[in-house]
A and B are shown apart, each in its own frame.
Chain A
Amino acid sequence: MSRPEHVAPPELFYGETEAKKYTGNSRIAAIQAEMTMRAVELLNLADDSSHYLLDIGCGSGLSGEVLEEDGHIWVGMDIAPSMLEIATDKDVEGDLFLQDIGQGVGFRPGTFDGAISISVLQWLCNADKTENRPRYRLQRFFSTLFMSLQRGARAVFQFYPENDTQVEMIMGIAMKCGFTGGLVVDYPNSKKARKFYLCLFAGQAAAGQKQELPQ
């Protein structure tokens, strides 16, 4: 099976037909919800009150709906207009942006309590157009994301890495942009169930307080 990010850029791959198929598929929806809950858990939010969260690659709002159920206020961005349209038709509560994360995100410093991203990061590693230089785009993305987070906040990315080299490239660039953290692998022994979560920390919440990578 060919990986979707190799077939076409996301805004083309998730055209109207694919977007509807993706959103209407209950198995995909269930997996997305489950991964979203795990990502939120890995955010390690201070208490169970409402937080202001960024959903990177929010698609049609499957992950956003999970955030809403938890009482969070969210802002979502996606590059596929057809996905965002489905989200608006569903009246999701999040504020929606049509955005190419490789161009950076434009928020004032310390805006968000955390960021999650479900099945998106691998798209950013692809040189799908000649002008798309993955390294430059990753750098632009991570550096602007770092700024937009509260000190000590986390960004958790569930993604499908292609190989170790890709993971190293992503981590290397994220660290260069100020993040610490690492990879959490769920179900490492099952090839089918295995899930990768890149957990990034935007500095320390308080001086001398070291962030530990969750289990």
Chain B
Amino acid sequence: MNESLINPFTLSHPTAVQTSLFAGATFAKFDPTGRFIASAARLAFSVQIWDLETRAPIRWLDGHVKAITNIDWSRNSRYLLTSSRDWNAIIWDLSSPCDPPQRHGSLRFDAPVVSAYFHPKNSQIILALLATGEAYVCDLRKQNRSRIELLETITDEGIEEEENNGQGVMRSPMTVARFDPTGKNIFVGTASGSILVFNTRTKTMIARHKISGAGAMKGFDFAKSGRRLVSNSSDRTLRQFILPSYSNPPTDTELLEQSQPPFLDLELEPTHRFNDPINRTAWHAMCYSPDGDWLAGGAADPSGHKIYIWDISNDGQLASPLDGGREPLLHLHWHPTRSLLASTTNMGNILIWHHPNPERWGAFAGGFEEVDENVEYEEREDEFDIEDEEVQFQRKMKAEEEEVDIDTIVTGAQAAVLGGLGTLSGNMGGAATPIGTGPSGNYSMDIDKLGSGMGDDIEAAWAEEEPDTDIRGAWKMKVIMDSEEASEYY
């Protein structure tokens, strides 16, 4: 709410390291409220929660016996989902007053879990990807309790081809699985370089996009609007796509009639390709800024800690390379609302990058304003006219008649709506995206506008059946402090 006072110019991307946290981590992610960071410890197989304001660890989540592969926060940060090579995914409740917090739930699979994500609208729906290349949607709600595998639809021609080759029906292993920001669709990347789109409710495939020349998919990230996707693949290139609008899946009766539901088979052409033309370094991670105007890519450079920032609003030009020293980068994540980046080094340190504001010394003098250039001052015609004190007083009293509002709190989402920014559509403005829609999003691309049809309402209604207990403001993080000597470090 104070971005305008803190930074009177446009929100820029981070440029310098502000602090580093000695976390011993393999990766670190901000929570949706932007107050915490969760880091996965390399040696202890535990998760640490850090308070971003005090830069101190406040909670430890101990439960896995092998390396943690992914962390996901629920939309209001109450629950945390960790996936691990020990074949488990654990849900943690951070409002739990005991230390370490008790598991809220756990899911056991038949193979190491590569990633697990919460549905953006209901933390009881979980998408898990296994090392064997299978993806499951696990619904923990009482009414819908199920675990359904996502299966790529193989067309008839495909089957014939496969038979000609003397092989059975082979589906390409899945290497990435993510919900889109609305939770309506699931995007799956495969080892053969395609992006499959599934409907979350029906679990049917609704689209397949072949990405020519991409190789195996390694990662996805969505801009908040959900219309833009950036993919990382084994050909060492980041590709940005503008996603088409997907038709709604056929109704159940139609499904019965057809053994193979139709899907959209479309080759997607990237709007931008980002790569390193000289060293051909691969990318470990990439992340959009909250407003979607910037894209940060973390280079898998073994000799240094390099982050590249591209200006998406300016045709994807390289804005600046950031150098974070000698420790190679493993992971990177952008703060959900502010101009902050967290990048993790291979030594386990988390670097917090920020955009330093130049010190404004003029701020120390009352009623004084700094200007960048000399301004030719033009005196108003009546500027030094002597005015009747009575008139002046009357005018002042009149100005004071104006009503003030001292206790209505305008949230980010409301501010965006009031500001007429229009980046939110009906189903985005709900509880699912309470953050990141602040006044910073002055720039909005037309493509970011989401069409909300009847189908979206069905999906949203389905996801919001049996709502979870992750309600904003209805819970509080219990802060645990370790022993006195450890406190000396922080």
> Is B one of A's binding partners?
no
B residues touching A (Cβ–Cβ < 8 Å)?
Answer: none
A residues touching B (Cβ–Cβ < 8 Å)?
Answer: none
